[in-house]
Structure 1
Amino acid sequence: MLRSYRRLFAIPHVGSLLSWSLASRLYMPGQPIAITFLVADWTGSYTKAGLVVGLLILGTALVAPMRGRMADRGHAARIVVVCGVVYAAGLSAIALLPAERWWAALPLALATGLFSPPANQIVRALWPRLTRGRDLQAVYAAEATLQELLFVLGPMLAAGAVAFADARVALVVLAATALVGSLGFAAALRRAGVADAAPPAGEASAHEASTGAAGPRPSLLASGGFVLFIAMLFALVAGIIGVDLVLVAWANELNSPALAMVLAAVWALGSLVGGLVAGALPGTPRLSRRFAGSALGIVLLVPFFPPVTHLPTPMLILPVLFASGLFIAPTLAAAMGRLSATAPPDRRAEAFGWMTTAQTAGSAATSPLMGALMDWGGIASGAAGAAALVVLAAAISPFLPVGRAEPEEPEGGRGAPDTAARPAEGESAREGRGR
């Protein structure tokens, strides 16, 4: 397993791009915590805090495809810098508002969300230019796996800043984190010679020749397969976030808020281990099998929650939680790889922008749904709802287009293309195969 990752990080610039793209996203998981503490302290209302968080998320979802389209046309590093500076300024402005003018945070949050740094979609669109075969599979798995750490470190950063200072300081710290991460990622893009994220002319032309898609093309949403992909991601992320909410609600019902962190950490640990193992496996995985594994893992959780079962101690669910998480990161990695394989080479960042929109919308839609289910039938009902969403995503997965030269049967891994060792703007690179 380690050999596969050593080989991956030996490819020039891969480690730097991956590290800085993750650093530029560190602020994201802690953002709702800092804003909720801040606005609730100002107003005494969690509803108003939720509105501010929701508008920030809405802004991100609305423009992710547009930012991707801009990055596909070039100047990715410049876009990252501008977004990082404006986003950090927006968060800082919210933090510095007087409490009596909390309402100004509403339009500020929406405007700030419109400039959410697009590092995730840009770097995912770049991987096929720098890696291929087994290395491409490994880098998507590594990203999906390391992302799990962000959901541990980000909330810790925000909660720690609130505990040691206050919510204003916490939000400013997150703003600084977003700015530093964006500047670092832009510098990494320039060092790698891919600051212009547009694909080499030869790669785009080859795709047009193979699809007859020269000239103006319709929206990606005009493709039935792409719409299915967006629906699948929406359901998957909604189900995953649903499990997180179920764990929090269960811990709250047991009057043990700290238990939620333990349960979520074990689930994330399973995902991390699964992702590390999956990234080292040779061949192209079957997307539908990964989704079926995620669905089965979440379905298995349902009987362990009240009122179906009242465990003598919640610690008994930890092995099941660990096993349930094993397929989460591998499934997300497989989804990213499949999207990379099916999107036109010169529209990959836009395609990953739609992925961001689907994931954000799925996350936003989950809270009211899980709340209604748990109010109606208890914790197990919420878990069943989350499981149903992931089962729906698994049911959609076999109907997605396979993509360019992406056989479903496993095959031996291949090394990175020669151009990965010396990427440069305008330089042609062989396209990697999605996972």
Structure 2
Amino acid sequence: MAGYRELLRTPGVARIIAAQLTARFPNGMTSLAILLHIEQVTGSYGSAGLVLAATSVGQAIAGPVTSRWMGIWGMRRVLTTTLVICAAAITALALVQVPLPVYMLLGLIAGLSTPPVQSAVRTIYPKMVNSRQLTPLFSLDASLQEIIWIIAPVLITFVSTQVGTVQGLLLVVVILIGGGAWFILSPEVGRVRIPRSRRSFGKVLAKPPVVLATVTGFLLIGACAAVEAGVVATFGHGGLEAGLVLAVFSVGSLAGGLTFGHIPIGPWAMARRFAVVAAGLALTMFSLNAWWLGGSLFLAGIGIAPALAVMFTMTSASVKFSETAEAFGWIGTGQLIGAAMGSAVAGFLIDGVGPQGAYWAATAFAATGFLVSAVFVRGFPDLRGRDSSPIPDTEPVPTIT
């Protein structure tokens, strides 16, 4: 913990972490708020699912695109433009009465215009700390984001069910604007300039570490999404146990990130972390008792934030600074697709064999992540004793001869 205290005393670090967490807080609220609102307006969970799917497709498409735009037009301009459009689209979802296709269009626009805060802040981090502090900073970031997934769903469910779904969506807009403005006005956002990438869009995926980070992120978040579906199916939507068990899962991730985030990253780091996640998830298949599930998921959670930290650090160390935002955008897209796939597979298995099917799916996702990490271990960089900052962008310098 002494290392984290030193890290947070670095000028600007504590402020930028708090600002970006607030700006990203709506990420844990928007999907649930849209689902509850559209279901109430249309009376159909199927319609709500279609609007939610349109939103998710928009987010997946936008990730690498808007992240790359930050190197062309600047972070503040892109963040501000997307923030205004996203806030307007969610406000319209809350206030207008329109046919389902129009709701889907508004959801798509909200997804496409989701501000790329995550890509922006992970591009800024290497410019704020020295290379020794970068891995712990990525680990701290991955750990603290669990706060979003612990508090945000509870808050939006309470507001939407006890006050109203319109008020729930408007609360998302208020936090989106307030948190987004705080982050955009942070000095570091204006100070860090991303150079324009000279490579064509998507070429960053030619880097093996970026592809591996995207694939392992897909598998890790797929496992988490399957767990969430399984826990809800086990205890029911209104079961207090579901919220508590998922909170324990997130607490395990928070604890793992804070405890192991300082460990140097070698080629086998990802495989070891996936082994912890897979082992914990495998234990869930023995019993659906709340205490057993809580203990198993706490163990599985210990590997999640450290695994995310490996993804972010190895990506940062493997690409040029001008490519970092786009690279993180692709990783985010992989995670979004993983969440959708994990939920879908778990849903089919729950319908077919019961809640146990979701835990089978989660274990399969995590075990596949371990196998990918082990088989392609040569593609993971050895960052022990190495600078994990992005590769500097260089260009010819004219000389007088």
TM-score normalised according to structure 1 size: 0.83
Unaligned runs of 5+ in 1: 205-213, 306-310, 418-425, 429-435
Q: 1:112 and 1:170 mapped to 2: Cα distance? A: 16
Other-structure match for 1:180: 178
**Among 307, 312, 334, the residue aligned to 1:331:** 307
**Structure 1 position 300 matched with structure 2 position 283:** yes
Structure 1 pair 300–60 and aligned structure 2 pair: CA distance change class (3 A)? same
Q: 1:384 and 1:124 mapped to 2: Cα distance? A: 33
Other-structure match for 1:249: 233
Structure 1 pair 192–221 and aligned structure 2 pair: CA distance change class (3 A)? closer
Structure 1 pair 18–225 and aligned structure 2 pair: CA distance change class (3 A)? closer
CA-CA distance at 1:258 after TM superposition = 1.8
Do 1:373 and 1:381's aligned partners in 2 also have CA atoms closer than 8 Å? yes
Other-structure match for 1:210: none
Other-structure match for 2:164: 166
Q: 1:81 and 1:382 mapped to 2: Cα distance? A: 39
Cα deviation 1:312-331 (Å, max 9, x = unaligned): xx234322222221111111
**Structure 1 position 263 matched with structure 2 position 245:** yes
**Structure 1 position 26 matched with structure 2 position 25:** yes
**Structure 1 position 17 matched with structure 2 position 16:** yes
CA-CA distance at 1:217 after TM superposition = 8.4
- Spell out the pairing of 1:119-268 with structure 2 (5 A cutoff): 119-188=117-186, 191-192=187-188, 194-198=190-194, 219-223=203-207, 226-252=210-236, 257-268=239-250
Cα deviation 1:64-106 (Å, max 9, x = unaligned): 11111111335101211111111111100110112x5344211
The residue type paired with residue 69 of structure 1 is R
Do 2:75 and 2:189's aligned partners in 1 also have CA atoms closer than 8 Å? no
Q: 1:92 and 1:36 mapped to 2: Cα distance? A: 15
Do 2:70 and 2:194's aligned partners in 1 also have CA atoms closer than 8 Å? yes
Aligned residues with identical type, % of pairs: 27
Q: 1:224 and 1:272 mapped to 2: Cα distance? A: 28
**Among 104, 108, 111, the residue aligned to 2:109:** 111
**Structure 1 position 289 matched with structure 2 position 272:** yes
**Structure 1 position 101 matched with structure 2 position 99:** yes
Q: 2:379 and 2:49 mapped to 1: Cα distance? A: 39
CA-CA distance at 1:296 after TM superposition = 1.8
Do 2:57 and 2:108's aligned partners in 1 also have CA atoms closer than 8 Å? yes
Other-structure match for 2:356: 380
Q: 1:222 and 1:238 mapped to 2: Cα distance? A: 23
- Spell out the pairing of 1:44-55 with structure 2 (5 A cutoff): 44-55=43-54
The residue type paired with residue 235 of structure 1 is L
Structure 1 pair 318–215 and aligned structure 2 pair: CA distance change class (3 A)? closer
Q: 1:10 and 1:73 mapped to 2: Cα distance? A: 32
The residue type paired with residue 258 of structure 1 is L
Q: 1:367 and 1:49 mapped to 2: Cα distance? A: 15
Cα deviation 1:286-314 (Å, max 9, x = unaligned): 22212222222212222223xxxxx4xx2
Do 2:209 and 2:314's aligned partners in 1 also have CA atoms closer than 8 Å? no
Structure 1 pair 178–400 and aligned structure 2 pair: CA distance change class (3 A)? farther
Structure 1, 333-342 or 85-94: larger mean CA deviation:
333-342
TM-score normalised according to structure 2 size: 0.89
SS at match of 1:192: helix
Unaligned runs of 5+ in 2: 395-401
Do 1:74 and 1:198's aligned partners in 2 also have CA atoms closer than 8 Å? no
SS at match of 1:407: coil
Do 1:74 and 1:197's aligned partners in 2 also have CA atoms closer than 8 Å? no
Structure 1 pair 193–401 and aligned structure 2 pair: CA distance change class (3 A)? farther
Q: 1:277 and 1:362 mapped to 2: Cα distance? A: 26
**Structure 1 position 272 matched with structure 2 position 246:** no
Q: 1:215 and 1:144 mapped to 2: Cα distance? A: 29
Q: 2:76 and 2:62 mapped to 1: Cα distance? A: 17
Q: 2:202 and 2:335 mapped to 1: Cα distance? A: 23
Do 1:134 and 1:282's aligned partners in 2 also have CA atoms closer than 8 Å? no
Do 2:204 and 2:210's aligned partners in 1 also have CA atoms closer than 8 Å? yes
* Structure 1 vs Structure 2 CA RMSD: 2.6
Do 2:205 and 2:327's aligned partners in 1 also have CA atoms closer than 8 Å? no
CA-CA distance at 1:391 after TM superposition = 1.1
Do 1:290 and 1:331's aligned partners in 2 also have CA atoms closer than 8 Å? yes
SS at match of 2:185: helix
Q: 2:145 and 2:208 mapped to 1: Cα distance? A: 29
Do 1:77 and 1:195's aligned partners in 2 also have CA atoms closer than 8 Å? no
SS at match of 1:73: helix
**Structure 1 position 321 matched with structure 2 position 313:** no
Q: 2:200 and 2:91 mapped to 1: Cα distance? A: 41
Other-structure match for 2:321: 345
Q: 1:216 and 1:90 mapped to 2: Cα distance? A: 30
SS at match of 1:301: helix
Do 1:96 and 1:168's aligned partners in 2 also have CA atoms closer than 8 Å? yes
Q: 1:193 and 1:57 mapped to 2: Cα distance? A: 26
- Spell out the pairing of 1:405-416 with structure 2 (5 A cutoff): 407=382, 409=384, 411=385
Q: 1:45 and 1:110 mapped to 2: Cα distance? A: 19
CA-CA distance at 1:156 after TM superposition = 2.4
